[in-house]
A and B are shown apart, each in its own frame.
Chain A
Amino acid sequence: MESNASPELLPGTLFLLILRTLSRGPLHGYAIVKRIKEASREGLQVEDGSLYPALNRMLVKGWLAAEWGVSENNRKARFYRLTPEGRKQLDKEAGEFDRLVRAIQLVMRTA
């Protein structure tokens, strides 16, 4: 377990990951963590403790909206979904992120 501990998230990428995860539909907090973990094939582990501050920052900015609903096993849970602003932000950040990653890869290969 210790050896393949998930790498630290790059600063700023948490928002992007959450936005992307929610772009396929509303999810509650725990499901977001799980989805990211699964999608990265256990490569990325979002800290439970930093998830909720991030979600709330995004609520403040108006990228997300939250509603109370019922979870898959019939419990009251808070669901987050993307707002139109959030979708715009996702497009913007995803584009920037792609460029950044490509640039880093170029450096890593050639330099």
Chain B
Amino acid sequence: MAFGKEIGNRLGYLIRRSRFDREFEEEMSFHLQARAEELEQSGMASGEALRQARREFGSTLRSGEETRSAWQLSWLEDFASDLRYAARALRRNPALALAAIGSLALGIGANTTMFSVAKEALFSEPSCRDPQSLAQISTRGNHWVTVAQYRFLADAHVLDGIAGMNHELPVNWRYGNRSFYLAGTHVSDNFFQVVGIPVAMGRPIERGETDAAVVTYGFWRSRLNGDPNVLGRKLVLDDKPYRIVGVLPRDHRMLVGSGLTPDLYLTKEPRGFMLYARMPQGMTRQAAYARLRPICREMDRVYPEENRKWAREVQLSGVGGMDRLREFGGPMAMPALAFFAMLVMVTAIVVLIACANISSLLLARALTRSRELAIRMSLGGSRGRLVRQLLTESLWLALLGTGAGLFINLWLTRLLSGFHIPTPLPIELIVQPDRALLAYSAAIALVVTLATGLVPALKGTRAGIGAALKEDGRQAGPAGSRLRNALVVVQLAVSIVLLSAGLLFVRNLISATSFNAGFDTAHTIVAAVHGESDREKFVDTALARLRALPGIEAASPAIALPLNPFLAFNRPNEQLRPDAGSRAVRVEYNPNSVGPDYFRIMAIPILQGRAFLDSDRAGAPEVVILNQNMARRLFGSTNPVGHILRFPDNHDARVVGVARNSTYATLGEKDAMALYGPFAQLAAHGGACLFVRTNGPPEAMARKVDQTIAELDAKASVQTKVMREVFGFALLPSRAGAAVLGSMALFGLMLASIGLYGVLLYSTQRRIHEIGIRVALGATPGDVLAMVAGQSCRLVAIGMGIGLALALVAVRPLSMFLVPEVRPTDPLNFVAVAGVLALVAGLATIAPTARALRVDPAVALRHE
């Protein structure tokens, strides 16, 4: 209490320093005047009196200095001198300092980058006015309403406005004689007002506008060439002219988060909207619910829905942070969160390994300096003061390491921000340094300081004064070497865990790259078409033209693009009845409608029955093909060909074939079921994918295919890709995981082996005297070898034992990121990891052992 007040007083002085000096001068002159007056009264001449008063007072300068020093913070000055002293100590040993700072910087750089990316991807605040009072309206996880329902709610004016948004709709942009596929976000006319999205240029969309568009910075730069006169320009979107009224700032973050960035916002009424409500200033959620409830009851009455009761289920949820993650992420949120948590943890472990290394280096130094420290203590230096001084060295290392790590962070995040993640959705993360990152880094620096410095400082200053002065460096610390050994064991154990995880991801990458997707990716091109005027005609002409091209083996339409994880959100989950009987089986399956040649193009063999035929057209009896999983699920072991399948809407289809299992939405999916129907029997619905099989490498043909399809219909947008590219996206998590974990594991292993090497070398050096005596007494090189190598083997064995036990538990949850072929508990992994580590340990042992063997007894005995 009193101490705190004193500190406060002193800090106050720091601020009022100049006033203090002025006041002190005034006070002095008053004192002198008062004394002089008194002397005058006792009869002294006035000039003489003042001189006398000055003499009596003595030096005002010294008095002022002493007075000022009463206010100054001695520990602040001590700290400054500690910093200078520690900096000198580090400069004297630049190799140690650079190695320590370098390894810290790499670890901290990787760690903070993971932190920044995870924070941006999962928890970033959307660009809008006062996110706290903005809420999303939904009913128990269902966010979508029809436009009529949106109108009904918005027109009730219960809160400060309700706006609608749909970010899942593509828009075709007609430009010249081609159309381009854009990621458009459809919004209600009041959306910008209600949400309060800032624009960089122009103005937001205003109420009552029906043909206004606001483009994002990226679209403006790349597609409109950064045209400064873009405002007022017309864009033909889905055959309708729109006027660009505004351009969004570069760091615009969409309400739905995850780095999703559309090309533009436009006023258009889609089939469905998500609802955002602005709550009046200061209104609590509870009050908002109370206001909403009556209109929700009305809603249930006017728009009755079987699975949805607004009055009971209406929910308001936040638009940022954890709230949004829970709301939106759904099936993706937990794995994403777990993935980032794992990466942050792994990189943190690397930082800790680096700390252990530095700690053991500093410990060695503190022990060799124990004589110096002992002398200083005997001369009256308090132990606390010495501990502080030794810790200052760690503080320097931590600060420099963290600073350099932040530079790595800035560089990496800049790299990542410019990187367009190859997904079917327009995702761009704007990772920027912020206050959270600074706070996080400061916390890391503190942890690093304590982790690297505390043990050496406490151990180094503990040795009794007498003991340390009497003994020489050789025996200075059995306790110290025990500690160093413990540090190495911990490092080894932790790097085994890291290495196991890293190896799993590298194996995952290897097996995912060579992973049999169940279809051919080497000769396939796929073109996604949107917005064609007449699908049937378009597809027929496209197929005819494509087949006429040289080098094209076959072409077929289909609805679904394989390995698109977003398919997983739209899987039907239905009761199907085999043989139209009473037995209903609930199945969640991947639907697709494909042309007759699809199975040939994708090289998916038909195992029973037949593929589709040209005769399976609209009007002909409905037919389906099942994959093996679905056939087994519905029909057991009987051959399903010829059997009837009844759908929930009571239409029937005959099973004509069974296709081999392949992958549909993601590579990692297990026992996925699939049901194919003929493309020609698909009910009217826009858009299609055209699959093309080439004779040669598909890359050479992609351009030709794109042109051929694009020139058919200026209204249709065409995106052509080779299948390998699509496949690349499916591999993205494996690639990212393998890259980060693999490199971190290698880095951790490197650090751990340096630590092991250091410890062995150091302990051999300390025992040179002892080895000399042993050799002089007749020990053979074999004995010495056994002694040194034995020590290293003990350390490695203990570290490995602990590490393997930990790894066995730690890698288990990783299975959710891995293809089924790679099992986390595969003994082979652990054998490989143990082998690598044993090899490294062996190498780290050789040098010290060789040194021990070279010892000449005569030299060793003199060695001091």
Interface residues of A (CB under 8 A from B): 28-30, 47-50, 52-53, 55-57, 59-62, 71, 73, 75-78, 85
Contact across chains for A59 and B30 when beta carbons are under 8 A apart: no
Report how far A52 CA is from B68 CA in the complex, Å.
10
Given A60-B6, A62-B5, A73-B37, CB of A53 within 8 Å of CB of B67: yes
CB distance from B596 to the nearest CB of A (A): 93
Interchain CB contact (< 8 A) of A48 among B24, B58, B64, B69 = B58
Contact across chains for B2 and A78 when beta carbons are under 8 A apart: no
Residue in B closest to A72 when the chains form the complex, CB atoms: B34
Contact across chains for B30 and A47 when beta carbons are under 8 A apart: no
- Closest 8 A-B residue pairs measured CB to CB? A53-B66, A56-B70, A49-B58, A48-B57, A30-B34, A57-B70, A49-B63, A56-B67
Contact across chains for B35 and A30 when beta carbons are under 8 A apart: yes
Please give, as numbers and ranges, the residues of chain A lying within 8 Å of B6 by CB-CB distance: 60-62
Could you list 26 A-B pairs, sorted by A, with CB under 8 Å?
A29-B31, A30-B30, A30-B31, A30-B34, A47-B58, A48-B31, A49-B58, A49-B59, A49-B63, A52-B27, A52-B63, A53-B66, A53-B69, A60-B9, A60-B10, A60-B70, A61-B2, A62-B5, A62-B9, A73-B37, A75-B30, A75-B34, A77-B27, A77-B34, A78-B23, A78-B30
Contact across chains for B2 and A76 when beta carbons are under 8 A apart: no
Residue in A closest to B54 when the chains form the complex, CB atoms: A48
Report how far A38 CA is from B13 CA in the complex, Å.
34
Please give, as numbers and ranges, the residues of chain B lying within 8 Å of A59 by CB-CB distance: 9, 70
Report how far A61 CA is from B70 CA in the complex, Å.
10
Contact across chains for A49 and B70 when beta carbons are under 8 A apart: no
How many residue pairs at the A-B interface have CB separations less than 8 Å?
A: 73
Residue among A47, A53, A71, A77 with most chain B CB within 10 A: A53
Report how far A60 CA is from B62 CA in the complex, Å.
19
Please give, as numbers and ranges, the residues of chain B lying within 8 Å of A29 by CB-CB distance: 27, 30-31
Report how far A76 CA is from B23 CA in the complex, Å.
11
B614 interfacial by beta-carbon distance below 8 Å: no
Report how far A77 CA is from B30 CA in the complex, Å.
6
Report how far A32 CA is from B69 CA in the complex, Å.
22
Residue in B closest to A47 when the chains form the complex, CB atoms: B58
Interchain CB contact (< 8 A) of B2 among A47, A49, A55, A85 = A85
Please give, as numbers and ranges, the residues of chain B lying within 8 Å of A76 by CB-CB distance: 26, 30
Contact across chains for B9 and A49 when beta carbons are under 8 A apart: no
Given A30-B31, A60-B71, A75-B33, CB of A52 within 8 Å of CB of B24: yes
Within 8 A of A (CB), among B56-112: 56-59, 62-64, 66-71
**B interface bracket (residues with beta carbon within 8 Å of A):** 20 to 34
Contact across chains for A71 and B34 when beta carbons are under 8 A apart: yes
Please give, as numbers and ranges, the residues of chain B lying within 8 Å of A53 by CB-CB distance: 63, 66-67, 69-70
CB distance from A50 to the nearest CB of B (A): 8
Contact across chains for A71 and B30 when beta carbons are under 8 A apart: yes
Please give, as numbers and ranges, the residues of chain A lying within 8 Å of B58 by CB-CB distance: 47-49
Please give, as numbers and ranges, the residues of chain A lying within 8 Å of B31 by CB-CB distance: 29-30, 48
Please give, as numbers and ranges, the residues of chain B lying within 8 Å of A57 by CB-CB distance: 70
Report how far A52 CA is from B58 CA in the complex, Å.
12
Given A29-B27, A29-B31, A61-B6, CB of A56 within 8 Å of CB of B57: no
CB distance from A73 to the nearest CB of B (A): 7
Bitwise interface map of B from 32 to 61 toward A, beta carbon under 8 Å scored 1, else 0: 011101000000000000000000111100
Given A52-B24, A85-B2, CB of A28 within 8 Å of CB of B67: no
Please give, as numbers and ranges, the residues of chain A lying within 8 Å of B70 by CB-CB distance: 53, 56-57, 59-60
Report how far A46 CA is from B70 CA in the complex, Å.
18
Contact across chains for A52 and B2 when beta carbons are under 8 A apart: no
Residue in B closest to A78 when the chains form the complex, CB atoms: B27
Report how far A49 CA is from B565 CA in the complex, Å.
83
Q: A53-B70, A59-B9, A78-B27 are in contact. List 5 more A-B contacts (CB 8 A).
A: A28-B34, A47-B58, A52-B64, A53-B69, A60-B13
Report how far A53 CA is from B58 CA in the complex, Å.
13
Please give, as numbers and ranges, the residues of chain B lying within 8 Å of A78 by CB-CB distance: 23, 26-27, 30
Residue in A closest to B24 when the chains form the complex, CB atoms: A52
Residue in A closest to B63 when the chains form the complex, CB atoms: A49
CB distance from A53 to the nearest CB of B (A): 4
Residue in B closest to A89 when the chains form the complex, CB atoms: B2
Please give, as numbers and ranges, the residues of chain A lying within 8 Å of B5 by CB-CB distance: 62
Within 8 A of A (CB), among B752-780: none
Report how far A52 CA is from B57 CA in the complex, Å.
11
Contact across chains for B10 and A49 when beta carbons are under 8 A apart: no
Report how far A73 CA is from B27 CA in the complex, Å.
15
Contact across chains for A52 and B67 when beta carbons are under 8 A apart: yes
Residue among A48, A73, A78 with most chain B CB within 10 A: A48
Report how far A55 CA is from B23 CA in the complex, Å.
14
Please give, as numbers and ranges, the residues of chain B lying within 8 Å of A61 by CB-CB distance: 2, 6
Report how far A62 CA is from B66 CA in the complex, Å.
18
CB distance from A6 to the nearest CB of B (A): 13
Report how far A3 CA is from B421 CA in the complex, Å.
94
Given A30-B31, A62-B9, A78-B27, CB of A48 within 8 Å of CB of B2: no
Report how far A30 CA is from B29 CA in the complex, Å.
11
Contact across chains for B30 and A28 when beta carbons are under 8 A apart: yes
CB distance from A62 to the nearest CB of B (A): 5
Within 8 A of A (CB), among B736-766: none
Please give, as numbers and ranges, the residues of chain A lying within 8 Å of B13 by CB-CB distance: 60
Within 8 A of A (CB), among B343-379: none
Report how far A75 CA is from B35 CA in the complex, Å.
13
Report how far A76 CA is from B34 CA in the complex, Å.
11
Report how far A47 CA is from B58 CA in the complex, Å.
9
Residue in A closest to B53 when the chains form the complex, CB atoms: A48
Residue in A closest to B37 when the chains form the complex, CB atoms: A73
Report how far A76 CA is from B57 CA in the complex, Å.
19
Within 8 A of A (CB), among B1-27: 2, 5-6, 9-10, 13, 23-24, 26-27
Report how far A60 CA is from B35 CA in the complex, Å.
27
Please give, as numbers and ranges, the residues of chain B lying within 8 Å of A52 by CB-CB distance: 24, 27-28, 63-64, 66-67
